Amino acid sequence: MTTEMNDKQRLMLESAKAFATERLDGVAAELDHSGIFPKSLVSAMAGDGMMGILLPEASGGSDLGFATYVAVIQALSGTCPAVASILNQHALTASIIAQWGNEDQKSRILPAMAKGDSLGSFAVSESGPAIGVGPDALIARRQGKKFLLKGSKAFVRNAGVADLYLVFATLAEPVGAKGLAAFIVQAGTAGMTVGPSLETMGLNGCPVAHITFDDAAVNEESVLHDLSAGAAIAEQLLYLAAVAEGAQTVGIAQAAATHAAGYAKHRVQFHHPVAHQEAIQTMLANMATDSHLAWLGVQRAAALIDAGEPFEVEAAMVKSFLARFGSRMMIDGCQVEGGLGISESAPKGIREALPLARLFRDIAGTTLLDAPADFPEKLIAASLS
Amino acid sequence: MITLNPKQESIKRAAKEFVAQTIIPKAAAYDKSGAFHSYLLEAAKPTNIFAMAVPKEYGGLGYDSMTQALVLEEWGYGCAAMGTTLSASILSMESVLIAGNEDQKRRYFAPMLRGEIGAFGLTEPGAGSDVGAGSTTAKKIGNEYVLNGAKCWITNATFASVHLVFAQTDPSQGSKGLSAFIVEKGTPGFSLGDVEHKLGLRSSNTAFYAMKDMRIPAANLLGREGDGMKIAMKTLDTARPAIGALAVGVAQRALDECVAYLHGRFPGKPYPGQSLQFQLADMRIQVHAARQVVQDIMLLRDARQPFSIESAMTKTFCTDTAMQISAQAVRLTGSYGYTSELGKFMRDSKIMQIYEGTNQIQRLVIARAVLAPAPAVPQALKAGE
Q: Is residue A113 scored above 80 in pLDDT? A: yes
Query: Are B191 and B148 within 8 A, CB to CB?
Result: no
Assign A223 to helix, strand or coil: strand
Task: From A100, A79, A87, A85, select the one nearest A52 (Cα to Cα).
Answer: A87
pLDDT higher than 90, residue A175: no
Residue of A nearest to B322 (CA): A331
B104 Cα to chain A: minimum distance (Å): 31
Q: CB neighbours of A211 closer than 8 A, spacing ≥ 6? A: A123, A152, A153, A156, A159, A165, A167, A192, A193, A194, A195
User: Among this protein's residues, is B9 annotated catalytic?
Assistant: no
Q: Can you give the pLDDT at residue A134?
A: 86
pLDDT of residue B155: 96
The answer to whether the beta carbons of residues B168 and B227 sit under 8 Å apart is: no
Residue type, B368: R
Which of A89, A201, A238, A351 is best to mutate for the B interface (most B CBs within 10 A)? Answer: A201
Q: Which residue of B has its CA nearest to A357?
A: B199
Rg value, chain A, Cα: 21
* Residues of chain B with C-beta less than 8 angstroms from the C-beta of A369: 331-332, 334
Q: What whole-number distance in Å separates Cα of residue B293 and Cα of residue B251?
A: 14
B200 → closest Cβ in A331, A342, A369: A342
C-alpha–C-alpha distance, residues B318 and B340, integer Å: 23
Cα–Cα distance measured from residue A30 to residue A38, given in angstroms and rounded to the nearest whole number:
10
**What's the pLDDT at A349?**
44
Chain A contacts in chain B segment 344-363 (CB below 8 A): 346-347, 350-351, 353-355, 358-360, 363
**DSSP for residue B4:** P
Contacts for B309 with CB less than 8 Å, ≥ 6 apart = B365, B366, B369
Please provide the CATH number assigned to the domain covering A121-228: 2.40.110.10
DSSP assignment string, A153-168:
EEEEETTTT-SEEEEE
The percentage of chain A sitting over the pLDDT mark of 70, rounded to a whole number, equals 96
Beta bridge partners of A156: A209
CB proximity A104 to B under 8 Å: no
Number of H helices, E strands in chain A: 11, 9
* Residue B127, CA distances (Å) to A111, A344, A357, B251 in order: 58, 21, 21, 30
- Taking 70 as the pLDDT cut, the residues of chain B under it are 1, 269-271, 379-385
Q: Is the pLDDT of residue A327 over 50?
A: yes
pLDDT beyond 70 at A246: yes
Give the ipTM. 0.93
In chain A, residues with a C-beta closer than 8 Å to the C-beta of B354 are 334-335, 338-339, 341-342
Which of the four pLDDT bands, split at 50, 70 and 90, describes residue A374? low
Q: Is the pLDDT of residue A352 over 60?
A: no
**Domain ranges for chain A:** 7-118, 121-228, 232-382
- Residue length of chain A: 385
Residues near B268 by beta carbon (within 8 Å), at least 6 away in sequence: none
**Fold agreement between A7-118 and A121-228:** no
Q: What angle in degrees, to the nearest 10, is found between the helix axes of A66-77 and A230-266?
A: 40
Residue B362 pLDDT: 97
Contact criterion met (CB < 8 Å) for B194 and A348: yes
Contacts of A253 in chain B (CB under 8 A): none
Cα diameter, chain A = 79
State how far residue A270 is from chain B, nearest Cα, in angstroms. Answer: 6
Nearest CA in chain B to A197: B339
Helix segments in A78-226, DSSP class H: 81-100, 103-115
Domains and CATH numbers, chain B: 6-116 (1.10.540.10), 119-226 (2.40.110.10), 229-371 (1.20.140.10)
More confident residue, A44 or B373: A44
Partner-chain residue, chosen from A334, A341, A368, that has the shortest CB–CB distance to B338: A368
- Residue of B73, B116, B356, B385 with catalytic role: B356
* Predicted local confidence at residue A161, as pLDDT: 98
Contact B92, B155 (CB under 8 A): no
Q: What is the pTM of this model?
A: 0.94
Question: Which of B371, B232, B245, B250 minimizes the C-alpha distance to B309?
Answer: B371
Q: CB contact, 8 Å: A85 with chain B? A: no
- Residues of chain B contacting residue A264, judged by C-beta atoms under 8 Å apart: none
**In chain A, residues 185-204 whose CB comes closer than 8 Å to chain B:** 198-202
- So what's the pLDDT on residue A351? 46
Can you give B80-141 as a three-state secondary structure string? Answer: HHHHHHHHHHHHHHHHHHHHCCHHHHHHHHHHHHCCCCEEEECCECCECCCHHHCCCEEEEE
**Among candidates B136, B142, B112, B113, which has minimal Cα distance to B124?**
B136
With a cut of 90, say whether residue A347 has pLDDT above it. no
Convert the pLDDT of each residue in A296-322 to its tens digit.
999 999 999 999 999 999 999 999 999
| B370 SS3 class | helix
Q: Does B319 touch chain A (CB under 8 A)?
A: no
Q: What is the pLDDT of residue B1?
A: 59
- The total of other beta-carbon atoms located within 10 Å of residue B1's CB is 7
How far is the alpha carbon of B309 from chain A, nearest alpha carbon, in Å?
Answer: 19
Q: How far apart are CA A122 and CA A185, in angstroms?
A: 10
Is pLDDT at A190 greater than 50 in this prediction?
A: yes
> May I ask the CATH class of domain A232-382?
mainly alpha
* SS3 assignment, position B206: strand
Interface contact flag, A361 B199, Cβ < 8 Å: yes
Helical (H) or strand (E) element with B169: none
A135 in contact with B, Cβ within 8 Å: no
Per CATH, is A7-118 categorized as 3.30.390.50? Answer: no
**Contacts of residue A321, Cβ cutoff 8 Å, sequence gap at least 6:** A293, A294, A297
**Three-state DSSP string of A324-347:** HHHHHHHHHHHHHHHHHHCECCCC
Confidence of residue A371 (pLDDT cuts 50, 70, 90): confident
User: Is A347 close to B354, i.e. CB distance below 8 A?
Assistant: no
Cβ pair B331, A245 in contact under 8 A: no
- What is the model's pLDDT at position B382? 60
Main-chain dihedrals φ then ψ at residue A266, nearest 5 degrees: -100, -25
Mean pLDDT of A19-35: 94
Cβ-based neighbours of B33, under 8 Å, separated by 6 or more: B202, B203
Give A130→chain B minimum CA distance, Å.
9
Which chain B positions have a beta carbon within 8 Å of A323's beta carbon?
331
Question: What average pLDDT does the segment A62-87 reach?
Answer: 98
pLDDT value at position A354? 62
